[in-house]
Structures are given as C-alpha cells and as structure tokens.
Chains A and B, each alone.
Chain A
Amino acid sequence: MTDVSSLHAEVEKAAELAGIQLNEADLALFTEQLERAVMSLVSLLELDVSNVEPTGWLTSSSAQVMREDEPGEVLGTHRALRMAPRTRNGYVQVPPVMKGEG
C-alpha cells in the first residue's frame, strides 16, 4: 500500500476504469494526492472487524417494498431525446463502439 510506483499503476488503471483521461503530469499529481488519502485509511484498514457484520442498509428494519406491475407514464421519444447531445431517426447517436482499421 505504501509502494508509490504500484500506486501509480493502480491510479492509471483506476482512471481507465473510471473513464477519466490523465496526462503524465496529472497522473503524477493525482497519485501523490491519492497516496495521502490512501495513507489516511491505513489505521482503519488495520482494525480487525472480521466478526462484525457490515452495515448494509440503514432502512433494514423494513424489507424492500415492491411496486405492482402496472405500466405507467413514459416520457416518450421527443422528451427523452430532447436532452441528448446528438440524435438520429429517434435514436441517441454516439460514435462507433470500435474503430475500423481502414
């Protein structure tokens, strides 16, 4: 956990998973800042709580209440697409998932 070079790689991986682009300078700065954050958690993570149940839900006193299977109001295509940056023929449009080689 104190190994900065491995943290650097972890932050790089986290950035990829979190959909965030970082240039080298940002990555270095963020790694340094995140290192402090991670270090501040060390004593927490050293607590032995293996025999304690995790808090799941604060509303656990009551189980989940379900709704009935009744179709309700929809926004409709027009209102749904009004917020979209790009649309086409009633669809939301984005660049292709993969890039062709030619």
Chain B
Amino acid sequence: MTLPELFQLSLHEAGQGLRRQEFSVVELARSYEGRIEETEPHLGSFIALAEPSLSHQAQSLGPSTGQKHSWLWGIPGGIKDNICTSALPTTCASLSLEGFVPPYTATVVSRLEQAGYLCAGKTNLDEFAMGSSTETSAFGPTVNPWDSSRVPGGSSGGSAAAVASGQVAFALGSDTGGSIRQPAAFCGVVGLKPTYGLLSRYGLIAYASSLDQVGIFTRTVYDAALVLQELAAHDAKDATSSRRPLVRYAEASPYDLQGVRIGVPEECFGLSIQPEVSDVVRAAIRALAEAGAHIELCSLPHLPHALAVYRVIAAAEASSNLARFDGVAYGQQGHGDTVGTMIRSGRSTFIGDEVKRRILLGTLLLQRGEGSSRYEHAQRVRTLICRDYERAFSRFDVLACPTTPTVALESGQWADDTCGLGEADLFTAPVNLAGLPAISVPCGLSGALPVGLQLIAPAHKEKRLLGVARAYEECQPFDGNRRGPLYGRRR
C-alpha cells in the first residue's frame, strides 16, 4: 500500500504528524502547494491565492514546539472571500469590491492566525453569498471536483471544492440559508453551521444579519470539532456574540448512540426530493438505528412556509446591508455630475444581476404597505418555525434529514434560480431561521455524486451534534474520500 500524500491526511492526522515530527510544516505546506498548482486551473476554488506562499508562511512559523501548539498550527486553510482579511483583498466575488483591501481582519481569521494556521487564499463564492452554485461570482465559477460538468453548490462553493480536492485541510465559509451545508453535501465533505452567535460575525460581510453565521468545512467531523474549538469564543466586537462558557468540542472518546433519540421530520421526504437522494439518506438513518439510536418520525408543520419566510427576511436585510456599496469611501466608484447619479451608476455597473434582483425584492417588500409589515409578517411566521423546532426538541436530541433534495446539479441550470426561487435551501434555510446548529455529513453516493445527511441540534448543543455526527461517521464509514476527488488525479 502506498503512503498517502500529505495533503490527503485529515487535519487531525496532519496535526499528529507535525506533533510527532514525522514531517515538517514546510513539507506539509509544499504538499498542499503542489496540489493547488495541479488542481486550481480547472477547479477555480480561489479568488486570490495567498502571498507569501504556504511554504514561505510555514518557514516563518519557526520550529515545532511539539504538543504545545494548537491543532491548527501549520495547517493550510482557505477563507471564503466574504470574510475580511487585511493581508489579502476581500471582494465578495463582486466587481464592486474588486481590489478592496480592508484595513482590518475578521475576528475568526485573527483567531486562526493566533493558532498558527497557514492561509492558502480567499475562496470563491456566489456574488455577496447570494446563490447556490458559485456561478454568480464576478470572477468566474468554481466547478465540482467530483464532476467538472457540475456545480459545487454555494454560496461557499470555493471552500467546499478546496477541501474536497485536497487544496486545503479546512476552510471557512458562511451560511445564511444553507451556504455551507449545501455545498458540503454536493462536494462530499463535512460542513458545520454553528448556533447563531457562537462564532463572531465581526468581519463577515453581511448578507442577512439575523441569519448569517460563519462555519467550517473539513473532511471529517472530528476536524470540524477541532476548528470549532479554536474559533468559538465571545467577541466584544459583535453584540450578538454568545457569552456562554467555552466548551471542549473535540472529545477523544467516541459518542455513544445508545438511547439517543433522533427525530426525522416527515416533511423532508416529500415531493421535491430526488428518490435516490431519499434512499441514501434513509439508509444512513437506518445505520444510526442499528448503532443504537432511537429513530422516530416527527413533524415540523410550518416547514412548507420556511423558504418563503427565508426569502423575505434575507432579501429585506440584504437590501439594507448592501446599501453601503455606494463607491463613496471605498470600492469601485461610478461616475456622474451629482453624487446621486454617481452612486446609481456605480451600483448598476458593478453589482451583478442576481444581487440586484434580491436587493430590489427586499426594497420592494420593505416599501410595500405600512412600515416594514411584510418583513414583520415573515418574522411572525419565523416564530412559528422556531416553535416547531422547540416542540421537536422536547422529544428528540437531534433531528436527521437530507441536506439537499438533489445531488449537485449540472452547470448552468441555476440561471433560472432568480431570487433563490430554487429549492436548494429547502432543508437548510429553516435551520437558519431558528438559529440552530446543523452539520452536513457525507453519507453515500447517488450515482457517482455524494449525498449529505443533515443533523440538527438545539441551540448551543454543538457538542451533542458533533458527537452524533462522529458516531455516524464511525458506524458507517463512507469511503467518499478515497473514491472521490481527494485521491483522484486529473491528467
């Protein structure tokens, strides 16, 4: 049996190798550099690669101090390009922010830097994180590493593709309605969206402030726990940041599924789901039952309204959040003989059509009727959705359902998905409405494409969520990694 290449190791394995001094940080960095060089031209995962290079960054880390440093020390990671970094431009994949270098760094990235991670670069996304395919990026699409004719999902498609193909060991993304879990499912990797407020949003360029949450892509659940542990802490710069005591998310001992109550929302297996996807997910849920979990069907009666609620809230908040891109103090500037015409010309030229449509929808919804009544109406239905989850969690420890109704779609199919009218977010967006933690774990293949199992837990129960996910990973080892792009070689 041939030894794996270093980039094929999981984050935890690579960290162990560094601790045991089986290889150096520079060797690890070089392996990733080679992989990026090999795969990036056809994947397009990155908007910008880091300067200086990974191996240069590794050299300046200094010698290993053995056990003392963080698990992320010397580990290459990617940052979604809607998270601010003062060392690299932050564009949100929009022409309006082309060349914009923020004078500050997001709190989550600062925490990674303190841990000694290596920055591989800024990953691609749908413009301003609005989309499910990473095709609306102003700098070109990312392709699915499993099948280059398919999309990687979105909006964090670049991060998902980079982790799936071995360009990085982990990546940060953001999840407003499924932007981490959906591409994770499409690319066969683990995608974790924590509880709203657990990770600081300071430096995450807002799409919909009441839904946005920074999250993590890794190749294993345990890796996600290691990264989460490094990032979760109160941030005084974010008034919505949680002040709960710190939790150790990465436990060495396995999680016992015996007696764990898992609810399966029946609404998730309705009309819209591809039968093969449904079959793979049902099989995964059976595996959980065989490992000792107690499985029962449950109901989230307001789920059918969730997408509409999500669309109203996301569009309304986006219309306000994106008003700041006026080209006055930063960003690309339009022209005109008054400041008003200058702002309008700039926004019209440098903001893409899909983003414009959502801004217009949000503006339309907020301007209709008295005050913000439509938005408020959606917020009332949102309360009903939150209550559905509360009721479910009074009976269950976690909920299990598909992450997406389909596998990765062919490129170009999303052109019709204006204003998020597609159903890619069907099972993920309701979770954001309730601010809950959820994870997508690869659970098998439909044809030659990966399928994701979504697990959802009550707020701040990440430890339980990660435990169940890891137990699943162990009881039914899905060998997607070995069969997928991580081991695949093009050319």
Contact = CB atoms under 8 A, between A and B. Distances in A.
Interface of A: 10-11, 13-15, 17-22, 30, 33-34, 36-38, 40-41, 43-45, 47, 49-50, 52-59, 62, 64-65, 67, 75, 79-80, 82-86, 92, 94-99
Given A33-B419, A44-B309, A75-B103, A54 B380 contact: yes
Given A54-B382, A83-B100, A84-B329, 13 more contacts: A10-B368, A14-B360, A14-B364, A19-B326, A30-B357, A34-B364, A37-B418, A55-B386, A58-B197, A85-B330, A92-B329, A95-B338, A97-B340
Given A83-B101, A92-B328, A95-B338, A19 B344 contact: yes
B301 to A, nearest CB: 12
B319 interface: yes
User: Counting chain A CB atoms within 10 Å of each CB, which of B332, B360, B418 scores highest?
Assistant: B360
Nearest to A37: B419
A99 B339 CA distance: 9
Contact of B381 (A11, A37, A49, A67): A49
Given A64-B239, A83-B100, A83-B329, A55 B357 contact: no
B461 interface: no
A20 B383 contact: no
Contacts of A92: 328-329
Interface residues of B, number: 66
B355 to A, nearest CB: 10
B330 A19 contact: no
Pairs of residues from A and B, 10 with the lowest C-beta to C-beta distance, nearest first: A54-B379, A58-B435, A83-B330, A44-B308, A49-B380, A85-B333, A14-B363, A37-B419, A21-B348, A55-B382
B311 A40 contact: yes
Contact of B243 (A41, A65, A99): A65
B337 A99 contact: yes
Interface string B323-365: 1001111111100111111111101100100001101110110
A59 B435 CA distance: 9
B374 A18 contact: no
Given A11-B364, A36-B418, A20 B356 contact: yes
A40 B348 CA distance: 26
Given A11-B360, A92-B329, A49 B384 contact: yes
Contact of A34 (B196, B351, B419): B419
Contact of A65 (B239, B312, B323, B382): B239
A58 B383 contact: no
A25 to B, nearest CB: 12
B229 interface: no
Binding site of B, secondary structure by majority: helix, strand, loop or mixed?
helix
Interface string B185-212: 0000000000011000000000000100
A26 to B, nearest CB: 8
B389 to A, nearest CB: 12
Interface in B370-401: 374, 376-384, 386
Contacts of B30: none
B360 A52 contact: no
Contacts of B336: 95
B464 interface: no
Interface of B: 100-101, 103, 196-197, 210, 236, 239-240, 242-243, 305, 308-309, 311-312, 319, 323, 326-333, 336-345, 347-348, 351, 356-357, 359-361, 363-364, 367-368, 374, 376-384, 386, 418-419, 421, 433-435, 459
Contacts of B359: 18, 20
User: Counting chain B CB atoms within 10 Å of each CB, which of A49, A65, A80 scores highest?
Assistant: A49
26 contacts: A13-B367, A17-B363, A17-B367, A18-B360, A19-B347, A20-B348, A20-B359, A21-B345, A33-B357, A36-B419, A36-B421, A37-B311, A37-B418, A41-B308, A44-B308, A49-B381, A52-B384, A54-B376, A59-B242, A64-B239, A65-B243, A80-B103, A83-B101, A84-B330, A92-B329, A95-B336
Contacts of A18: 319, 323, 347, 359-360, 363
B339 A94 contact: yes
A34 B312 CA distance: 12
A64 to B, nearest CB: 6
A10 B364 contact: yes
Contacts of A37: 311, 357, 361, 418-419, 421
Given A13-B367, A53-B383, A62-B243, A96 B361 contact: no
Contacts of B308: 40-41, 43-44
Contacts of B421: 36-37, 40
Contacts of A41: 308, 311-312, 374
Contacts of B338: 95-99
Contacts of B236: 67
B380 A53 contact: yes
B217 to A, nearest CB: 23
Contact of A30 (B312, B340, B356, B379): B356
Contact of A47 (B239, B305, B312, B364): B305
Contact of B339 (A30, A33, A62, A97): A97
A5 to B, nearest CB: 15
Contact of B360 (A34, A43, A62, A84): A34
